[in-house]
Structure 1
Amino acid sequence: MSRISVRGFAVASATAVTTVGAVVGVASGSTAQPSNEAEATAGDATLLADIPAGEQAQVQTASLTQQAQTQAIAADTAAQKSAEEAARKKAAEDAIAKQKAAQAAKDKAEAEAKARAEAKKEAASRSATRDASSFSPQSSYTVAQIQAMARQMVPSGQFQCFSNIVNHESSWNYRAVNASSGAYGLFQALPASKYSSAGADWQTNPATQIKWGLNYMDSRYGSPCQAWTFWQANNWY
């Protein structure tokens, strides 16, 4: 058993084929010299031939087992490499997903903080506004006076939108009347008596009309700017 070649049956078979070819050449009278390969493998063929016939099958089995083990090792290596690549890809995807989630959370937090700041600013602006009753009544008012009153009653961030609507509705004429419908005042309320919910002096006091118009925009649309957005899309509010 100590003389068994590790190349096994494959080597012995190749040696046998080469040797047979050489013998056939001699038998046919060829003058060709035996190849170096035949000389090199002759020893291996002798080794296999020296092994008892009952043990040659064990040599062949050992050779096939070695081949199978080599193939299994190669397959395991390929599988491990594939698994490592999949793990790296998954880790990269998870990192990107976490980064996106973190950015989304940051954007949401910033948006909420901005909304709270705007709400706080709006609340502060509203608390600083004057009520219609705080203005002394006059016999008449100029456009500049009415606009000055509105600036003190409407939150600063909403005044421009408020002003845009009044410009379109009445050009700041608190006694404007629509001849065909009877709509009246700064906001062309219809019927005109709607103003009375803000004060009995609605016909002569623009501050009362401003109070009514601001309440209407806030209750129906949420703010003068939202009312202006609706007006732009529909030409009415």
Structure 2
Amino acid sequence: MSRISVRGFAVASATAVTAVGSVVGVASGSTAQNNDAETTAAGTTLLADIPAGQQAQVQTASLTQQADAQAIAADVSAKKDAEEAARKAAAETAVAKKKAAEKAAKAAKAAEEAKERAEAKDAASRDAAREATSFAVQSSYTIAQIQAMARQMVPSGQFQCFSNIVDHESSWNYKAVNPSSGAYGLFQALPGSKMSSVGADWQTNPATQIKWGLNYMNERYGSPCGAWSFWQANHWY
């Protein structure tokens, strides 16, 4: 049998160790040889030096030790993987929560802006309704008078857009009639009778027409400037 070196493990059986020492001592026959044998036994135990009856026990102890070491290493690796997975999951959860919060904030902001626009539109409509009836009824109106009415009824920041549309539609002639379609008034409403929704005097009172035109622009385009942007792109509104 060849001499197989078994390193790195503790001999599980005291009997096996004693047997190894006895065998080495008998074979040596001298003090020097005994010292050498002791050094060999302390550093490297040769499987061939162990009695045959003990070799299986020694090999089993070695394999058990190796298995234990492998199990510990596997446990450490599994724990490390679990911790890394937990950190990754926590990071992904944090990112998802942040995105959800940002989305909610944007939705809230959009809702608030929509509310403000609606309130501004309602306020403009109320102002127009109140101011449209505050002008004295006349038999006729000059362009300057009609424009003065509009300046009092249309928000200052929207007036230029409002004026641009009226310039292109009727040149501020509240009795303008389109010979082809029959569209009528400052805004060339078609049919003109739709302006009766804000006043029965829609044919003769520019204040009533201004009120209707402002309401129309706010409701359909959000504002006179919104209507003017559409007009520029399409040449109608």
Counterpart CA distance in 1 for 2:197 and 2:44 is: 119
Counterpart CA distance in 2 for 1:50 and 1:140 is: 132
Counterpart CA distance in 1 for 2:191 and 2:97 is: 59
Deviation sequence 1:161-205 (CA, Å, 0-9, x none): 433322221122213333443433211123444444544433332
Question: Gaps spanning 5+ residues in structure 1: where?
Answer: 6-37
Change (3 A) 1:99 1:168: same
Indicate if the aligned counterparts of 1:126 and 1:154 stay in contact, CA closer than 8 A: no
Counterpart CA distance in 2 for 1:103 and 1:155 is: 34
Equivalent pairs, count:
206
Counterpart CA distance in 1 for 2:126 and 2:50 is: 110
Q: Which residue of 2 aligns with 1:62?
A: 61
Q: Which residue of 2 aligns with 1:114?
A: 113
Indicate if the aligned counterparts of 1:122 and 1:155 stay in contact, CA closer than 8 A: no
Matches within 5 A, 1:130-145: 130-145=130-145
- Give the secondary structure class of the aligned counterpart of 1:172: coil
Counterpart CA distance in 2 for 1:113 and 1:171 is: 38
Aligned identity (percent) is: 72
Q: Which residue of 2 aligns with 1:184?
A: 184
Indicate if the aligned counterparts of 2:16 and 2:54 stay in contact, CA closer than 8 A: no
Deviation sequence 1:97-153 (CA, Å, 0-9, x none): 222222222233233333333433443343333343331122332323212212333
TM-score (norm 2): 0.68
Matches within 5 A, 1:78-227: 78-129=77-128, 130-155=130-155, 158-218=158-218, 223-227=223-227
Tell me which amino acid in the other structure corresponds to 1:101: A
* Deviation of 1:221 (Å): 5.2
TM-score (norm 1): 0.68
Counterpart CA distance in 2 for 1:197 and 1:120 is: 21
- Give the secondary structure class of the aligned counterpart of 1:137: coil
- Give the secondary structure class of the aligned counterpart of 2:14: coil
Tell me which amino acid in the other structure corresponds to 2:235: N
Counterpart CA distance in 1 for 2:214 and 2:139 is: 23
